[in-house]
Amino acid sequence: MSFGQVEGFFLDSCILLPHPLESVRKSSDVLLKESGNRCMICSSVKKEAIDLIERAYTIIVSDIRSNLKPFLGKQGITALTNRHGKLLADFFAERKKGIRLQFPERSNVRNEITGTIENYVSVQLHSMKDGFTITPDDFLSSLVTNLTIIEHELKAPFMGIKTIDIDPDIAITSLLILKTLIGNPKDVDHLASALKYQFQTNKWVIFVTVDETEILGKQNRIFEVFALQCTKPNWALDYYSSMTRLKSPIEYYQEIHNYTSEQKEFADKIQKSMGIKITS
């Protein structure tokens, strides 16, 4: 019999990315500052986040080079000031029109992307002081330089944290979908990876996320059936302390009285996929 077997926190990617809500950002930062060395991410979370960051960066930079640069060149502008907003507004309006004609079915996503780039460019243009001039080439190069620096910084937290190489088992992911009705397959994969790691090492892990709709709203059910504790960052350390008082995950599961049919089904899947018997 063993107590105090808590391996640490399995982080969802949202914990490592800047969040628009200050309260969420602060609670994540506190957890990372206080317990960064007890945090880990599974390789699928890392890959997904890095891919997304790189794809977003590629879209913006490619758009600046392929569309905005030739446009400014055609206009023959030699110096940009913060008074050139109207010109850029016309450019983006034209571009959206072109997209609608070219890709009628997919225009929403494309329009949103163009809208985001438009917003970014306009904020940068308006941040220029009155009287300040810059060549279009230098303006665009500055945008791309800053984006490259930010892209590197967005990826940095994923590089500085312990990564667990683990692939979730299909049997467990299918059961998770069935019993929790979580819609996002990536969320299911991350939870299944955490579960697999927990029972492989026979040490508790705590899955930390700010995803209220898909995961936190179902945290009691996920613990009841799968014995995986999910929490938001604010309470992660409290769960950590309380779980040090529990027996190890396998022993905990073995000591459950009167298994529900769902618990039995889960234990059966674990035994089949991982060869670990977690029922008494």
Partner 1 sequence: MLSDQAAKGFSLPKIIRNDTSFPLEFQNVKDAFKDYKTAISETIEDNLSLLEEIPIPEHLSMDILKEFLRKDIDSDLRKDELFEKAVEIGRYAKSMNNSMDSYFREIFTYHEKLKQDMDSKMFHVSKMFLNSDLPLSFLKSIGDSILIEKDHTDIFDKEIRKEWRNLLASRSNRPKFEKICDTHNLWIKEFNERQKQMERQRVKLVWYVDFNNSSNIDEVFKDKFVKKSLLDEGILRDLISELQKIVQEAEKLSMSRLEFHPFVEKHETESDVRAILEIMQIIDR
Contact 53, 249 (CB under 8 A): no
- Binder to partner 1 among 33, 74, 245, 257 (CB under 8 A)? 33
Cα gap 210→13, rounded to integer Å: 10
- Binder to partner 1 among 24, 59, 166, 171 (CB under 8 A)? 59
Asked if 188 interacts with partner 1 (CB under 8 A), we say no
- Binder to partner 1 among 7, 47, 56, 77 (CB under 8 A)? 56
Phi and psi, residue 2, nearest 5° = -135, 145
Residue 204: CB minimum distance to partner 1, A: 21
**Could you tell me the two tokens for 123?**
């904020």
Nearer to partner 1, 64 or 175 (CB): 64
Asked if 67 interacts with partner 1 (CB under 8 A), we say no
Residue 261: CB minimum distance to partner 1, A: 35
Contact 83, 48 (CB under 8 A): no
Q: Identify the sign of the CA torsion 148, 151, 153, 155.
A: negative
Asked if 18 interacts with partner 1 (CB under 8 A), we say yes
Counting DSSP H helices and E strands in the chain, the numbers are 13, 5
Asked if 7 interacts with partner 1 (CB under 8 A), we say no
Pattern 212-231, binding to partner 1, x per CB under 8 A? --------------------
Contact 31, 233 (CB under 8 A): yes
> Which residues fall within 8 angstroms of residue 183, CB to CB, at 6 or more apart?
214
Stretch 98-157 residues interacting with partner 1 (CB under 8 A): 109, 112-113, 116-117, 119-120, 123-124, 127-128, 132, 134, 137-142, 144-154, 156-157
Asked if 161 interacts with partner 1 (CB under 8 A), we say yes
**C-beta atoms surrounding 32 within 10 Å:** 20
Phi-psi region of 171 (alpha: psi -120 to 50; beta: other; left: phi over 0): alpha
- Site for partner 1, rule CB under 8 A: 16-18, 20, 22, 25, 28-29, 32-33, 36-37, 39, 52-62, 64-65, 69, 109, 112-113, 116-117, 119-120, 123-124, 127-128, 132, 134, 137-142, 144-154, 156-157, 159-161
